[in-house]
Every structure is written in C-alpha cells, then in structure tokens.
Structure 1
Amino acid sequence: MGPAEIPPQALAFMTAFRARWEAIGEDTAQLNEFLKDHLDDLNKELLTALPLIFRIWTTAKSLHQLNQVVAVFGDFGNTVWKFPLGDRALNLELSISTYKAILQIYPRAVFPQDWAITQNNLASSYLYRIRGDRAENIERAISSYKAALEIKNKDDFPGDWAQIQNNLGSAYLYRIAGTRAENIEQAISAYEATLKIKKRKSFPEEWAQIQNNLGNAYVDRIQGKRADNIEQAILSYEAALEIRVREIFPMQWAMTQVNLGTAYDSRLYGVQEENQEKALLAYESALQVYSQEAFPWEWANLQNNLGAAYKTRIRGRREENISRAVIAYEAALQVYSPESFPEQWANTQGNLISALLERSEFTGKIIDLDKAISDLGIAGKIASQGTESYANVYYTLGAIFEYRYRLHQDSSALLQASAAYKEAATATPWADRKLTYRAKAGDSLYQLGVALTQDGQWYEGLAQLEASLDTYRQAENRLGRADALQQIARTHYLMGNFDKARMYFRDALRLYQAEANPPGEAACRAGLGRLLLRLNFVDDAIAELNQACDQYRTLGDDTHLANVQDTYELAQKLAQKLAQET
C-alpha cells in the first residue's frame, strides 16, 4: 500500500485526531469523547493504514516534529487501549500497531527512556490481547516488561520501576507457560516488591491498585492453605476499597467490588450462604457503575459472574436462582459475540447451556438436547484450541451427553461423553484439570461398561471397562482404577473366566486398601469370597466373607451385610459338611 492507496477515511480520521490532540493536549476525557464520536472510524482499514500514516508523518522531519508525531500516536495508542466502546479486540490491535510503529524510530540506544515507556505500553496491550494465541501473547508481554526494566531500574527510576513491576506481576499471574504455582508466586513477589516503593501515604492510588492486584494473586494462589489465601485476598481488596471509594474513583471501585465478589464466592471460612450473599451484593453494587452502554465489556464480564453466583446460590428458591443465572448469561451474550470475543462467547455459551440443563433437571422439563449439543459444537469451533474456554466447552458437552444417557439410556451418548471429556483434557492448559477431565472420561466409559454387562453384552462391556481402566491410569485415579478392576472381575466371573476374575479381584482389593476405601474393600472381599466358594476354596472364601461382614458392620451398611451374611452362613454350613465327610 503506497501513500496514494491509504484509505482516505483512515487518513482523515488520524488527521482529525492529531488536530484535536494539538488543541487539547493529553486530556484523556476529551480524547475519549473524540473516539466516541468517531466510533465507526476504529475499523480494519485504520489498522492496516496506521503504520503507513506514521511512516509518512515521520519521514524527513525535524526532531521536534518527530517527537510531536510520536506523542500524537502514543496518546492515540494509550487512549484506544483503554477505550471501553467498540470492538475491544480491534482496539487492542490498534494500540499494538501504534506502539510497534513508535519503536521503529525510537531505538533503545538513542531514546532509552521513550523506548522503555513504549515497551511497557506494548506489553500491556499484549497482556490483554484477545486475538492470537493467549499463551504467546503473555510471553510477549513478559518479554517487553523485562526489556523496559533494563532501563527503568530500581535505583535510577524507582517510581517507574515499581509500576512496571506491578504490570509484570499481572503478566505472571495470567501466565499459561511454565508452572502455574511458580508463576503466581512470582506475581506475588513482584507486587510485594512494588509495595516497598508505592507506600499508602505517598502514593495512595498506586498503593490501592497494587492491593487489588495482590488480592487477585491470592485468589488464584496454589501454594499455601487455600482458605487462608482467600482471606488474604479479601483483606487486600478491602484495603484497596479504603482508597477506591465510589465517589472519587468509580471505575476502580467497581473493579475491586467485582474482585471482592469473586473472593467471597470462593471463600471457605464462614457460612457459605452468607458468603454467597456478600458476593452477590458486591457484584450488584458494581452494576451501579458498569452499565452496558458505558462499559459493555466489563458489564458482560460482571453478568457472567452473576450467572455463576446465582447458579450455585443456596438462599432462595432453586428454580428461581437458576432462572436468574440463565438471564445473566443471556445478558452477557448480548455483548460477547463470536467475532469480537470468541473465547468469552464460547465460555459463556457453555455456562448458559449448563444452567439450562440444570434448570431442565430441576423442573423436569426436557429441552432440545441436540440443539444444545449443536450450539456447543459451534462454540468449540470458535474458541481457540488449547484455551480454558475451549476446554470448558467440551467439558460441558461431556456433561450434556451424560444427561442424555440418563434421560434416554442411549449407550452411544456415553461414548460421546468420554470423547468430549478427553478433548477437554487435551485442551486445558492446567495439569490438575487434565487429570480431572480424564477421570470424567473414565467415569463415562465405566458407566457404559456396567450398562452393557448388565444388558448381557459381556464382551462389549468388558472392552469398555478395560478402556476405562486405561483412562483412569492416565488420570492417575487409583480409586477409579479399583472400581474398574472390580467390575472387570465381576464380568469375568459371569463369563466363567474364574482365574481372570480372581486375579482382577485381588488387584482391585490392593488398590482399595491402598486408598483406605472400606466400602470398596468390603464389596471386593464379598465378590472374591463368592468366587472362592464357587471354586471350592471354602476356607479362603469364609475368611474373605467374614472380613466383608465385619467391614459392613463398621460401615453400618445393613443391606449389604444381610446379603453377604447369607453367603457367609452358606459357606459355614458347607465347611461343616465337608468336615463331617472327611
């Protein structure tokens, strides 16, 4: 694209922005109003044209003129980065393009201070970037923050150093690469280092911002006791709110209210019902500032949080709470579109379908499951692979297939559920969730195996049980493995494969003992006792059945005790008869 090929509207817009900037300077409020009045000009054409406009305006210019153009573009990048209206994803791309252009003419060796400031700004745009690979964007952010810190060191620029450290802490908090627990610890260290410079008395606004960020880190913290971490997060948010009062800092107040709500929603100490009500109060308070018109992205995120809070609410009528959750999720989807917010759209779509399914189970009304599955399939195609949103879609899809099985006893639904859970396990970036999702896949295969064997399809059932055993191994779920082994043993028993049945019962028993699972151990000993009795190992059978009876007595399980007791008494009579015959 040459100078003559620059879209006239894009050039006219930037020319008008420059004129407005020259008239008012760095007045953020007025620059925001300018963007609001020219919302349609923030488009793909402008994104393509920005680098060329910058090049034309900076070619063969004096240092003064050059600095003026850089200032115009820098303020445009800063303003559009924070601009709450329009296409949020596009706004971030515009800011990235602007900062990259500035770095081309502000080399580190010649303009180290300006270079460092621009690196910091570029990093922040990458940190919140919607397009592209999320993990890669965060790594770029970390790299740029670290580059800025090479210039803005603690000794020479303590204030700037502290602000960039704060930003770097947020990048580590959201980081996907590396070990999650270690990343969060680095975030906490960065925030705490910043607080040594940004004292409350001297820098109250910055201090409150860091307290808010520190609260975010403690909410997500893996190391330490979970309950204590949440308490620390609440203390940090409440400290931030001592400065961030609504009348003076409405946007910051609303942000921290949302975070405080999230902390109360996760709180382990106190009464759960009261914690939930405090979370809802915080969310609804934030809505006083975050309106759909003024802050569409924040409003949608808040609606998503409200949906989650109502979905798990204890107080009030369950059906009414679920209906409120549905309304909140549907509201969020008014802002989240597949084009502008693909991951958020997919995640919220999954949450909505989950709420609809729960409402259907609660009310007894059957919704169109195939439509729900179809919607999730679309969501899965739109969400980026390898993201938590993508994993959430497939996890929910697995739950829907399980629900369809419960309604219609369609065994193929369990196979589809297992496949969906496995896809979720592959997609999620978090190691602990990989294990959880694989375990759910194993559960579906286990259910299918049990259903098939109960239907007399022994070979087909055995194949699914063995598949579940392999899946449980991948999930490192020893209790699931024990259940699968015991069911395989029972199936071999029914098929007359007594040696294999005995081997699998023994393997299952060892795992139940290792997991200290008395119900599983009792059931396994009862099954093994019946098998040994069938093989005429009467004394061994009596020993296993006796232990099973003792365990059922301890558990207070009278139903199973009565069944095993009958077999035990039969074995005793047989032993007496054999003794008399000899």
Structure 2
Amino acid sequence: MREVIDLLLQILVKTSHSSADKKIVYPLLQDNLDKLDLNFADLLRRWSKNYFAGESPDKAQTVAGIISNFGTLIGQFPQGNLASNLEIAIVCFEVIEIIFNSEEYPREWAISKLNLGNAYGNRIYGDPIENREKAIIAYHDALKIYSCEEYTREWAETQTNLIPLYSAKIKKTKRDDNYVNLDKLVSICNAVLEIFTQDRFTEKWVVIKNNLASLYCDTPHPNRSNNLELAIDICNEVLGVLNKESLFEEWANTQMNMGIAYDKRVQGDRQENFNLAVQAYQNSLKFYTRENYPFTYAILQNNLGNAYRDQGLATSAINYYWLALEIHTHTAYPNESLRASRNLGNTAFKSGYWDEAIKGYSIAIKAVETSRSWVKSESRRQKILEESIGIYESMVQACINAGQIEKAFEYSERSRSKRLVDLMASNDLYQSGEIPPVVQELLQQYEELQQKIDKERQSHKSDNNRSQTRAAFQAYNEAIASLETEKQQVWEKVRREDPVLAGEIQVNPLSLSEIQKLIEQPNTAILSFYTTNSDTHIFIVQKNQITLHTCTGQGLETLQGWINQNWLLPYMNDYKRWETQINSILRELAERLQISELISQHLQGIEELILVPHLLLHQIPFTALPTGEYQEYLGDKFLIRYTPSCQILEFCKQRDSVGTFNGISLQYGTVEDAEDNLPCARFEGEKLAQMYNIPLENRLIGSSQATSNNYRQLAQQVQVLHSCHHAQSRLDNPLESQLKLAYGSSITLGQLMTPSWRLSQLVEVFLSCCETNLGTPSLTDDILTLSTGFLCAGAISVVSTLWSVNDLATALFSIFYYQQRQEGKNRPEALQQAQIQLREFTKLDLNKIFQEVEAREKELIVNRKKYPSGSIEHEQWKCEYNMYAKLNRRIKEIENYTQQFPFSDPHYWAAFICHGLR
C-alpha cells in the first residue's frame, strides 16, 4: 500500500513539474506498469477525497488541476493494461468534481466533463451501452458551459467527440430518431467543419472528415451504396491533403476507414474492392504496429479477417481473427474479443471447419460471460445474453456436427435460465445472513408500491372471473401502469445491489459428470430439449451415458413458431376453442417430437423422466403426449418432473433439508379461497386439513384471513404450503404475475424473487391455482412464473399448473395427490397416480362425494336454528352453508354430463406438473 501511495505522489509531482509532459511522465508509468491497476484507481479515489477534505481551498484547487492533467495523460497512455488506465482516468475526472463545481469553476468543470466523456467513450470495463450513455451525458454537461458563441473551439471539440457515440447508437438500435439520425449528425459535422477548417486546423479537420466517413460506412440507410461512395470520396480527399510524415496517426485512421468502405462497397469490381481494402488496412498497420498500438492493431486484424471472409477465403480470414484474439482476449477486452471470436466461429462454421468453429465460439461464450460479470444492471446482463444467444446455438450445432455430444449438451445447458440461476444463487447468499440496509430500504419501497398497486386494483376490480384467472395481455389503467414502472425500477435497484450481480460470486456451469450426479436412480433419465434454427435436439442423459435424438426440420419457426400459433395464441384468444383442440395439437406435437421413436431408441428400461424444456416447450403438458401405443400417454409410461435447467435442479438438491424433518414433524399450511368465490377450494382445504390434522392457525381461510401479510408469515413457518385460490399470469409483464389474495391484495412474482422472501425451510409448495407455471420464456430460456418464483425463494419442489384449471377437478386432483403422498409415494409418483385417478373418476364416484356434501349441507341447515341471526356463529354457519350449497351445484353440473368419465379430457388433469426434487 505504501509503495503505491509513493508512486501516486511521484506521478503527481512529475505531472506538476513537467506541465504534464508525456516525455517526462510516461517513462515513470512505463517503469511501474504492474501497479497501474484497479487497486491504484481505488487508492487514488480514497486518497483524493481525504486530501481534499483536509486541505485549504487554494491547495486543493492546485492538486485538483494536477490530477486532471494526470487523468488526461493516463487516459491516452498506450502501454500497460488499457482498461485499467481508463479506470484510473475516470477516477481522476470524477474526484476533482469535489473541487471544480459548475458554479464556482465553470471552465474547469467543463474540462473535467469533456475529459470524463472521453474516458467513458473509450472505457473497456463495464457495459458498452451504459458507458456510451455516461459519455454522452458528460459531453452534454460540458456543452452547458461550452456554447458555440462563447467557447467556439471547445464546443466544436465536444461535438466532435459526440458524433461517433451517436453513430454507434444508431448502428446498435438500427433506427433513426430525433437527434441521432444520420442527416443531423452530418449537419453537425458540417457545422464543426466551419470552425475546424482545413487550412487553420488541419488535424481536427481530418478527424471530422474521418468521423463523416465512418458515419457513411456504418450507419444503416436506404442509400447505403451511395453513402459508401461518399465515404471513399472523403477518404481520398483527406489523403490528398495529409502529410503522412507529420500526421502519421491521422493518415493511418483514414486508411482504416478507406479499408472499411472498400470492404463493404457495393459498386465496382468485387476483386478490386477487396484488393483496395486489404491495401488500405496494411497501410494503416504501418502506424498501428503490434508493439506500439496493440489494441488498434488487433482491430485491424479483425477487419482484415472480415475482408478475406467476404471474399470467401475462409482459411486466411481465420488466421487474421486469431491474430486479433492474441491481443483481444476475453478477460481483458471482452467486447472486442466477442466480435473477433464470433467472426471466427461463424466463418469456420460456414466452411464446415467444426473444430475451428468450436474454438471460436468457446472464446465468444467466455467473452459474453465476462461482459455479464462486469455489468451490475440485471436487465443489461439479460440483454447481453439475448444479443449473443445465437452463439450458444451455433456452438451446440457445431459440437453435434463434430460428434461431440457431451460438449453440445454442456453448452446447451450453459445457455439457459441464466437469470433464474443468478437469482437463486444471490437469494441463497442471504439465507444465513442479514439483508444489507440499503437492500432492506429498497425492499421497503418495493412493498409500499405493491400495496398501492393492490389498492388500485381493488378499486378497479373486474366482475369477470375469467379475466381474473386467464393470462393477461390487457393494458392496465394508467395509474397501475405508472406504479408498475416505478416498482420495476426499484426492483432493478434491488437486484443491482445484489452480490451476484456485482460479480462478487460466480455461478460456474455444470459439466456432464456433475449433471449425471443429479440423477439418483439408474432408471431415471434427463430429457433436455434444445431448438436451433433448423432442428430440435433431445439430449438423453443417464447416470452413465448420454445419447442424442434429433427431430430434423423442427427448428425455431417450424416447431416453436407452430406451438405459438397452435397452442399459445388460441389459449389466449379463444379458450373454449383451445380446449377442444388440445388432443389434436398434442398428437401432432408428439409426431413432431418423434415420441414413439424416442422411446424405442433411447428410453428402454427408463421409468422416470426429468424434463428440461426449451422455449415454448415449457408450456406443453408432456404427460399428455400420446406415445403411439393404444390410448397410452407419456405420463402413463414414465414418472415425469420438470426443471428449468440442470443448474436449478442442483440448487434444489443443495438446499434439500428434507432429511432434517421426519413425517411427523413436517408442518403443513393451507391458504384457501382467498377471495370467497371458490367453493371447491374450500372443500379442498377442509379435506387436506382432515388428512394431515392441520391446526386452524396454519390455515388461512377466506378473505378474513388470507391476506398477503398472513400468507408471508405462514410461508415462513411451514414446510409444506398448499395454496388453493385464484392466481393470474402476466405474459406481458411476468414480474406482475400474482397470487390473488384478500381485499385485492396479492403476492407477485417480483416479490418472490427479492431477497426478502427467504423460505429455506420449504420442502414443497403446491400451487393449486390457475396458470402458476404459465409463462413465455425469453430468448435465454428463462421461464419466469410463480412456480419458478417459489424455487427462487427456497422451495425444493413445486407443483403448479400450465393453464386455467377447472375448480372441481383441481380440488379432486389435490385430494388424490395428498392421499398418494400419505401412502409414501414420492412427488412424481403421486402426481402420476392422481392424474390417472382423475381421468378414471366416474359419475358414480362423484355421487359418493355428492352424498357427503349433501349430508353436510343438510346438517348446516339444521344448525341455522341454533344461532340468532346476526351473531358471529350465525355468520360462520351462513358462510359454510353457502360454500357447500355452491359446491353442490358444481357437482350437479358435472352429473349432468353425458360422459361416464367426466374428467378424462387432458385439459382437466394434464395441467399439473412437478418442478424440482422427487
């Protein structure tokens, strides 16, 4: 520490005495490259703050000026770790704001903002988009002082620096809007050129001209071909003026732009354009050598690779990409490394060089994951992965083409459910420790906003029960929408404070052998689905082997698009029609997935399946897929459970504390008919309470008890939680999916996924509600549902539903399930048997239940005479009687059905699935 402080002081002294002369300061930096790291940046920040706090204004002002000059020097220093150099520069320009504020020192403040913008514009650490936005903000701050009239030159320099940032923004967003469109940027360039003229400011004139050339090269535009010609003309104009000897760097930059323009050129002879592009790049490399400018040297190698690739010369292109990757490693320059390695992988893939493609994609994936670890914002972490998900897909396909099935499976697993994995990992960090105060404060804000939303929902409550239980695309009223947006922003802050998102812990991907250890029985297999552009691959993982089954031609459009058109959209838009089509849709899907061949070729001797769906396959009731045998479903032949990813299954296994409980000590809790409108749920709760002797204090019955606060307290006390009431999935805003509770209150998915919901004692959750596992997965295959929310909160197993379920069928199914559990069956066994019981349930069986309900109804009528009207006892009697009367009517409705087996159709029994452990 002392050694680094001494170096800092030496640097500041040399910077001061030499008037920030590079020739004096750079040799000192060169001799101490090993110390110019992030620790140096942190020490500089702390030292500066302490110094400024204890010194007189005059001395502080002087030192702030020296630090500002050093920031400029280190930001331009071409040696050592460029990423660390820029971090040090950023610290320099940020700490001096303590002294140079905009009111007292407007000029110095503007200079620091200009320099800060330069540093963020070139920053390597962090998220490129966030860095670019910070740079833009800093430049606009500078422009608050630098008006064109008063500070003409400074205004022009700031605008010059803004141009490439806005150009990158256009290129990234693929659209033109407001200030960022091409025409306006060209107008700004022209305005600046009136100040930085060729004869008076040749060097700056060249910079602007090169910016114009880059704009014409890189900006999407209908007249792209003409713009490329303009870029070439500009480069030729500049080269006609430049003196290579005196402005060597500017000459090299112009040559680089010339190369890009010729490589992308549409007009002219293709071979000639290629030759001119290569020649221009080679000219640029005369200045940007590997020894003196390794970073830019590597960019030029990547550009040369592109030129050779576009010419169909794959081998040469790959060689140039490797030269770029020698400098642009995934650990030091992840964004540049991603660009070159993806180019390498794609070029090799297109040419059928599978091993080379695998090497390239391997680096690209490491670069993506490094970039994610540098970003705190969860939404940006997710976006980074979504933008790069095609790399994982190509990697999986390249591995399969190379016959490397194990590696293909590992990368398919590595790509999925990253957001859920991060959430589960970070929530687990809080299991044994206190939530940090800053997180606690944000959680309080989050809860308060949720209460406001609940209150607003109650005031706009719909009388349409179907809309309360169906997935909602509808737009909420403006007040709720505004509150949801505000709550989302707070949620993002909560996650940003989370250690895993700050990169303080790493969740390592699982190897095949580690995944195989999750398979407890030799007759159990993991079926992991993965859809690429062309095919759907099914990896069959057993304890001692892995095989692959490919459904050729069932790619993203042909399979996933088909599911969207034939399953999801009909469910959303025409529920009754969807119900009638379930069997035919599932028959066709079984054919598309080649279920019969899959069983005969890969699943002989297998009795249990752990399904890892992909994308919209998460919505499919695999248990109801026909096997090809007469009237046999997949759920008849195999025990079935689900997991969003093998990584999440491992989390559940690590949490498994069921061994610490025995059958006697397990505490059960129920939440029943929270809105007083589901008589079957009341009946369901009564039956479960009788079966497990659940005490009244562990039962939340009706709107008088089933509040969100009581729910939360109960969930923290019991090991088995059974919820039978309304729920609603929000496909348009998954974090607002909710368990609907008393008086318009709710528990949302967003709440479940915050660190305040720590339910480490939960062994099992049964969500006997509608749509608790209905969700549309993101590109990264994250399925955000109430079911996965409970997995994040700590549960090791969750039974949930894929669609809006029938209330009587659900009550019966739940009772059957717990009867099977009482007999000692594990969860998938109990689920399977309960589904079979419900399918085979006859009207005669229903009559037995009807007799029991009718007897209780008559008993309650007798009780009416025991209590005076208006008494508490009379109200309790009335409430229970109404429930049984309604239940009676439901049963009579079913009795009027013509079918002998009233619940035999899959839409009654196939929605129930089990996530997690057995």
Q: In the alignment, which of 71, 79, 84 is matched to residue 90 of structure 1?
A: 84
| Residue identity matched to 1:398 | E
Pair 1:409–1:168, CA change in 2 (3 A): closer
Q: In the alignment, which of 73, 93, 107 is matched to residue 79 of structure 1?
A: 73
Q: Deviations over 1:297-341 (max 9, x none)?
A: 111111111122222226xxxxxx433222222222221222211
Q: In the alignment, which of 264, 267, 270 is matched to residue 269 of structure 1?
A: 267
Alignment of 1:299 onto 2:297: yes
Correspondence for 2:605: none
Pair 1:299–1:372, CA change in 2 (3 A): closer
User: Which ranges in structure 1 are unaligned for 5 or more consecutive residues?
Assistant: 1-6, 315-320, 424-440, 449-456, 474-487, 496-582
Correspondence for 1:313: 311
| Residue identity matched to 1:395 | G
C-alpha displacement of 1:222: 2.3
The question of whether the paired residues in 1 share the 8 Å contact of 2:358 and 2:398 is answered with no
Correspondence for 2:169: 175
C-alpha displacement of 1:36: 1.8
Q: Deviations over 1:531-571 (max 9, x none)?
A: xxxxxxxxxxxxxxxxxxxxxxxxxxxxxxxxxxxxxxxxx
Alignment of 1:367 onto 2:460: no
Q: In the alignment, which of 390, 400, 418 is matched to residue 395 of structure 1?
A: 390
| Residue identity matched to 2:165 | A
| Residue identity matched to 2:139 | Y
The question of whether the paired residues in 1 share the 8 Å contact of 2:86 and 2:119 is answered with yes
Correspondence for 2:102: 108
C-alpha displacement of 1:180: 3.5
| Residue identity matched to 2:324 | A
Q: In the alignment, which of 260, 280, 283 is matched to residue 282 of structure 1?
A: 280
Correspondence for 2:765: none
Correspondence for 2:773: none
The question of whether the paired residues in 1 share the 8 Å contact of 2:342 and 2:360 is answered with no
Q: Deviations over 1:472-521 (max 9, x none)?
A: 99xxxxxxxxxxxxxx9xx99xx9xxxxxxxxxxxxxxxxxxxxxxxxxx
Question: How far apart, in 1, do the equivalents of 2:396 and 2:329 lie?
Answer: 25
Q: Deviations over 1:14-61 (max 9, x none)?
A: 211122223321323433333222212212221111123223444554
Correspondence for 1:25: 19
The question of whether the paired residues in 2 share the 8 Å contact of 1:343 and 1:389 is answered with no
Matching of residues 101-500 of structure 1 within 5 Å? 101-175=95-169, 180-182=175-177, 183-185=180-182, 186-313=184-311, 321-358=313-350, 360-361=352-353, 367=355, 374-384=362-372, 394-402=389-397, 443-445=533-535, 465-469=558-562
Question: How far apart, in 1, do the equivalents of 2:143 and 2:356 lie?
Answer: 55
The question of whether the paired residues in 1 share the 8 Å contact of 2:536 and 2:551 is answered with no
| Residue identity matched to 2:303 | N
C-alpha displacement of 1:344: 1.7
Pair 1:375–1:150, CA change in 2 (3 A): closer
- The answer to which structure has the higher helix fraction is 1
Question: How far apart, in 2, do the equivalents of 1:462 and 1:137 lie?
Answer: 37
C-alpha displacement of 1:444: 1.5
Equivalent position SS for 2:355: coil
Correspondence for 2:6: 12
Question: How far apart, in 1, do the equivalents of 2:417 and 2:268 lie?
Answer: 36
| Residue identity matched to 2:125 | R
Equivalent position SS for 1:143: helix
For the pair shown, which has the larger CA radius of gyration, 1 or 2? 2
C-alpha displacement of 1:421: 12
Question: How far apart, in 2, do the equivalents of 1:27 and 1:156 lie?
Answer: 29
Pair 1:55–1:403, CA change in 2 (3 A): closer
C-alpha displacement of 1:417: 9.0
Question: How far apart, in 2, do the equivalents of 1:407 and 1:55 lie?
Answer: 57
The question of whether the paired residues in 1 share the 8 Å contact of 2:302 and 2:324 is answered with yes
Comparing 401-410 and 140-149, the one that deviates more? 401-410
Question: How far apart, in 2, do the equivalents of 1:289 and 1:351 lie?
Answer: 25
| Residue identity matched to 2:344 | L
Correspondence for 1:541: none
The question of whether the paired residues in 2 share the 8 Å contact of 1:257 and 1:285 is answered with yes
Count the aligned residue pairs.
Answer: 438
Question: How far apart, in 2, do the equivalents of 1:339 and 1:236 lie?
Answer: 37
C-alpha displacement of 1:106: 0.7
Equivalent position SS for 1:101: helix
Equivalent position SS for 1:334: helix
Question: How far apart, in 1, do the equivalents of 2:565 and 2:239 lie?
Answer: 46
The question of whether the paired residues in 1 share the 8 Å contact of 2:87 and 2:123 is answered with yes
The question of whether the paired residues in 2 share the 8 Å contact of 1:181 and 1:223 is answered with no
| Residue identity matched to 1:444 | S
Question: How far apart, in 2, do the equivalents of 1:334 and 1:341 lie?
Answer: 11
Equivalent position SS for 1:107: coil
Q: TM-score, normalised by structure 1?
A: 0.66
Equivalent position SS for 2:123: coil
Higher relative contact order (CA 8 A, sep 6+): 2
| Residue identity matched to 1:342 | P
The question of whether the paired residues in 1 share the 8 Å contact of 2:342 and 2:391 is answered with yes
Question: How far apart, in 1, do the equivalents of 2:357 and 2:402 lie?
Answer: 10
Question: How far apart, in 1, do the equivalents of 2:209 and 2:302 lie?
Answer: 24
C-alpha displacement of 1:137: 1.7
The question of whether the paired residues in 1 share the 8 Å contact of 2:74 and 2:85 is answered with yes
Q: In the alignment, which of 40, 43, 47 is matched to residue 49 of structure 1?
A: 43
Question: How far apart, in 2, do the equivalents of 1:329 and 1:53 lie?
Answer: 42
| Residue identity matched to 2:560 | A
C-alpha displacement of 1:381: 2.2
| Residue identity matched to 1:467 | Q
C-alpha displacement of 1:153: 0.2
Identity %: 26
| Residue identity matched to 1:136 | E
The question of whether the paired residues in 1 share the 8 Å contact of 2:86 and 2:123 is answered with yes
Equivalent position SS for 1:181: coil
Q: Deviations over 1:167-206 (max 9, x none)?
A: 1222211227866423242433332221122221221111
Equivalent position SS for 2:327: coil
The question of whether the paired residues in 2 share the 8 Å contact of 1:376 and 1:397 is answered with no
Question: How far apart, in 1, do the equivalents of 2:290 and 2:163 lie?
Answer: 30
Pair 1:9–1:408, CA change in 2 (3 A): closer
The question of whether the paired residues in 2 share the 8 Å contact of 1:347 and 1:390 is answered with no
The question of whether the paired residues in 1 share the 8 Å contact of 2:26 and 2:77 is answered with yes
C-alpha displacement of 1:11: 1.4
Question: How far apart, in 2, do the equivalents of 1:472 and 1:307 lie?
Answer: 41
Question: How far apart, in 1, do the equivalents of 2:559 and 2:46 lie?
Answer: 62
